[in-house]
Structure 1
Amino acid sequence: MLSFEICNAARLRRDPRYDGRFFTAVKTTAIYCRPVCPAKQPLTRNVVYYPTAAAAEAAGFRPCLRCRPETAPFCPAWNGTRSTVARAMKLIDGGALDDGSVVDLAMRLGISSRHLARLFERHIGATPQQLAKTLRVQRAKRLLDAGDDSMTEIAFQAGFSSLRRFNAAFAELYGRSPSSLRAVRARRA
């Protein structure tokens, strides 16, 4: 994060080089803005700087309707909704929903969980949770085919929080239990 002094000087100059590199939150209005916002400048004692829009929102600030912080350059949303969905998919593939919630994921992306759900519906045709579940089951199937680990080990390695959830998700997708698929594989070998 840039220092308070650098951020403050850039905000006072409305320097476009810093647009998207930090966000200015105004304590007296509970609004956060881009450094280039055309609104009246708040007093320096009333501002706090955040590195991302998500950080400002997590601290309780709402976005400015005038400068629209979600459109700032260097902000993922600036690159369009497909870019946001692609980032979300990469985070989900990395296990973001194995340990966290959709709300946490949306905050990391700088958008609301509701907006994230709409983007997924539009671009993926499934919810973030459905995508995470599919990726977990696919991971588990590869682990099941590749080795002789126990079902419990496979479940946890694939990102499931319990063996019961693993068995239920696997049966829902494949119509059979993971152990029955392993038995079929063993008979073929």
Structure 2
Amino acid sequence: MLDFDTCNAARLRRDPSFDGLFFTAVRTTGIYCRPVCPVKHPLTRNVSYYPTAAAAERAGYRPCLRCRPETAPFCPAWQGTKTTVERALKMIGEGALDRGTVDALAARLGIGSRHLARLFERHLGASPVQTAQTLRIARAKRLLTDTPLPLSDIAFQAGFGSIRSFNAAFLKLYGRSPSSLRPQKPAERLRP
């Protein structure tokens, strides 16, 4: 955390280079702001500084409605909807849609399933279900080429709910069965 004098000077200048690096809390109003906030400057004796918006809120301050400090640079909200999609992708990669629904995933993200679908369409051009399916197939393909596991084990390890859905997904995408994508053994390649 920066020292009091540095923060105070940056606040008084409304220096944008400090935006997101500290937050100004005003004791008399109970509000915290960004250093670039356009409101009238409070008296120096009434302010304290916090390294994050969360720290200011933990101390009992509420965010300013003008400068919206919870959306300051380096805060997840500042990156907008891209952050939500990135979090969803991480959860999908960890199997959230292998064992759950889009509604459950959206609830974990704190949004509705329709909004999640719109965000995926805007940022990825595909639905959450299609994205999960693509990740499952990629995992399965990697297991097919890198391991000697039986096809049934690969299907379940890749996140498919059944062998039937595993086979159907490969047939739809590649026009062939999963076993046909397995590398052939040297002895099998010699056969006509």
Give the structure-1-normalised TM-score: 0.61
For residues 113 and 76 of structure 2, what CA distance do their matches in structure 1 show? 15
Provide the rounded CA distance (Å) in 2 between the counterparts of 1:138 and 1:188.
25
Aligned residues: 140
Structure label with greater radius of gyration: 2
List per-residue Cα deviations over 1:121-145 (Å, max 9, x = no partner). Answer: 1110000000000000010011011
Structure 2 residue 116 is matched with structure 1 residue 123:
no
Structure 2 residue runs without a partner (length 5+): 1-28, 34-49
- CA–CA distance in 2 between the matches of 1:160 and 1:77? 33
CA distance in 2, matches of 1:166, 1:177: 9
Partner of 2:184: 185
Deviation, 1:172, is 0.9
1:158 aligns with 158
One-letter amino acid of the structure 2 residue matched with residue 98 of structure 1: D
1:83 corresponds to which residue?
83
Q: Where does the alignment leave 5 or more consecutive residues of structure 1 unmatched?
A: 1-11, 24-33, 39-67
**2:62 & 2:161 partners in 1: Cα distance?**
42
Q: How far has the Cα of 1:76 moved from its partner?
A: 4.2
Identity of aligned residues (%): 57
The one-character-per-residue Cα deviations of 1:82-105 (angstroms, maximum 9, x if unpaired) are 121111111111111111111111
Q: What SS class does the counterpart of residue 184 from structure 2 fall into?
A: helix
Kept in 2, the 8 Å contact 1:155–1:166? The answer is yes
| Residue aligning to 1:27 | none
2:166 & 2:112 partners in 1: Cα distance? 29
Amino acid at match of 1:114: R
1:174 Cα offset (Å): 1.0
The whole-number CA distance in structure 1 between the counterparts of 2:86 and 2:162 is: 28
State the match for 1:104 in structure 2. 104
CA RMSD of aligned residues (A): 3.3
Taking structure 2 as the reference length, the TM-score comes to 0.60
Which residue number corresponds to residue 41 of structure 2?
Answer: none
- Structure 1 match to 2:95: 95
Q: Hey, which bits of structure 1, 4+ residues long, moved more than 6 A?
A: none
